[in-house]
Structure 1
Amino acid sequence: MEIEYRDVMLNQSFDNKREAIISAGKLLQERGYVTENYIPKMIERDQMTSTFIGNMVAIPHGTEDSKAEILRSGIVLIQVPQGVSFDGNEVKLIIGIAGAEGQHLELLSEIAMVCSEIENVEKLVAAQDKDAVIQLFEGGAAA
């Protein structure tokens, strides 16, 4: 999985999870991964089942019927050092995903490899520059 500078936003803050999900969706759209119509599907998906996965991480993504809105696979990483509540769970790392042509599970697997270790998430949240975030994430584990 390749992550570019433009896929990463540092030191963001949100009043609520809806704002956070919309921000992730807009970044996915700006990067050419999805259409604008994917964003409401991300909100709908979180209402069905929370996209909070533990270890201060949420992975907002679209519903099953939003596949037509995905232009190409990609992920965006949003660092929220002060945290935002996802139904009472503190989230400090938001990873928006769009998986085209069945790549959804592959993306989730790669994210899980990094985010299953709380130490990796803490390093991602504390990172001061995009290089550090990309290096930690693409390395599959913290250095």
Structure 2
Amino acid sequence: MTLPILSKENILLNTTVGTKEEAIRKTGQLLVDRGYVEETYIEKMLEREQLTSTYMGNLVAIPHGTEDAKKAVKESGIAILQVPAGVEFGAGNEVKLLIGIAGKGDEHLEILSQIAIVCSEEENVQQIVKATSAEEILELFEGVQ
């Protein structure tokens, strides 16, 4: 059975995290718990963050694993963490929305571009940050398959 790339079970609302590392771990753990990746993927997400920040601007970070983390990906998937209080992502960069990605093969590029389209609209990001249900967020990401 193939998992959907994004379902309401992949979305955590009103999450509180103290640090960037905790935020990335929580996002990765959601991907692990839902069956998209092996546990080792979380460390590769943290490694990626050391290499280059996954902060995208507009209150969004898109944590994902390094190139060699692909072997830990079982299925392509997305995990979304809504952090209304925000979390510091270095140099005054505040993140209120984390979108964790695990892509099988080259699928992560396609997923990334679809997410970028949604998140490039500031009003979409505001809607996601203020959403009170996973369904509201799912609607905005309808095109991400």
2:114–2:143 contact (8 Å) kept in structure 1: no
Deviations 1:85-132 (A, max 9, x none): 101200000000000021010010010010001110000000011111
2:137 maps to which of 127, 133, 138: 133
1:9–1:77 contact (8 Å) kept in structure 2: yes
1:73 maps to which of 49, 69, 76: 76
**2-structure distance, mates of 1:112, 1:132:** 18
**Shift of residue 139, structure 1, vs aligned partner:** 5.1
**2-structure distance, mates of 1:3, 1:62:** 18
**2-structure distance, mates of 1:2, 1:114:** 15
**1-structure distance, mates of 2:104, 2:49:** 19
Structure 2: tracts of 5 or more residues without a match: none
**Shift of residue 137, structure 1, vs aligned partner:** 1.8
1:3-22 equivalences under 5 Å are 3-22=6-25
**Shift of residue 4, structure 1, vs aligned partner:** 1.0
**Match for 1:135: what amino acid?**
E
2:41 maps to which of 23, 31, 38: 38
Match of 1:119 in 2: 123
Structure 1: tracts of 5 or more residues without a match: none
Q: Secondary structure at the match of 1:83?
A: strand
Runs of 4 or more off by more than 6 Å in structure 1? none
Match of 2:89 in 1: 86
**Match for 2:128: what amino acid?**
L
**2-structure distance, mates of 1:137, 1:64:** 25
1:29 maps to which of 32, 41, 57: 32
**Match for 1:123: what amino acid?**
Q
Q: Secondary structure at the match of 2:32?
A: helix
Q: What TM-score results when the alignment is normalised by the length of structure 1?
A: 0.94
Q: Secondary structure at the match of 1:138?
A: coil
CA change 1:108–1:132 in 2 (3 A) is: same
Q: What TM-score results when the alignment is normalised by the length of structure 2?
A: 0.93
**Shift of residue 15, structure 1, vs aligned partner:** 0.4
Equivalences, count: 140
| Identical pairs, percent | 54
